[in-house]
Amino acid sequence: MKFDRRNNNKMKNIKRARTTILFIIVAIFVIVGSALAAQKFSASRQAVQALDEVKDDKNQKLDSSSTQEDKNGSTETAPTKESNSGVEDVAFVEKYLNQQMKGQKPDGADGKKVAYLTFDDGPSETVTPQILDILKAENVHATFFLVGKEIDASETNKNLVKREYAEGNAIGNHTYTHDYNYLYPKNKINVNTCMSDFEKTNQSLKNVLGQDFSTRAVRFPGGQMTWEKSDPQGTVAIDKALHDKDYHQIDWNALSGDAESKAKRTAEQLTQEAIKTIGKREKVIILMHDTYGKEETAKALPGIIKYLKDQGYEFKILK
């Protein structure tokens, strides 16, 4: 009887031990499983945070890119001086002048006052440096219509062309010879001769400024307006030849008169003539010269620029 009771107690103890061990095992599984789950959750959360950071970084870059695109107007590289706000499309000015000369309201009339300073017949070793010094001091740019034979006349002149361009001015083509008898025999435009003369100057410019350089702005000696009545057919023909090569002829609608009188005008007279011809024009293309003997033009230039600034004109170059 005692033996059976002992066996029963022993069996009960074994069962309790098994239950305790089982409980311990289950508890260990629960603890380990919870730890693993917590670790996975933490890792997952870190991954999500890292992904969010990457997305935020990308968005910031996109925002920055968009801002830069808005500023530049495109996703291309920053604009050079050829495409800044101080540059006017020469084709626009050509059309504007043609319509104005015909008594029509130009398509580009918008109420904005713009002045285009232009200098013909250079470069010269005497006057051109003075003009460039004044433009630089006034923080204003101009368009220089250059004569090919003057470019090739000396290394000093070639360096002046480089300086004109490097300082943000525009370069135009004013033929190679500037010879009226050669270009306009019997007061008629010789299309082939004129085009050849323009191309010769174009090559002179490339030799100085690099073979990639080109200009679309051309000006005839005496201006094309001189031949509108005497040679209308020649005018039409030369316009077509120029446009076929994307050249655009630019005359003027104001001037200082520094090449109109045999009597040498003083700087004050040149300034007053410029003011008179500027009048109330909205877009004003002013003819001046920087060749030899035009020292008074250089003296007059600061006063002309001051007048234009006082009248609220913006300065642009032609390309």
Question: Mind listing the pLDDT tens digit for each residue in 107-154?
Answer: 999 999 999 999 999 999 999 999 999 999 999 999 999 999 999 999
3-state secondary structure of 210: coil
Nearest to 164 by CA among 124, 109, 196, 108: 124
Residues β-bridged to residue 287: 118, 255
Q: Which CATH architecture has domain 81-318?
A: Alpha-Beta Barrel (3.20)
Q: How confident is the model at residue 42 (pLDDT cuts 50, 70, 90)?
A: very low
Written as one letter, the residue type at 109 is A
Report the chain's mean pLDDT, rounded to a whole number: 83
* Mean predicted confidence (pLDDT) in 47-59: 40
**In terms of DSSP H, where are the helices of 219-266?**
232-244
- Tell me, yes or no, if the pTM score tops 0.85: no
Distance, in Å, from the CA atom of 150 to the CA atom of 152, rounded to the nearest integer, reads 5
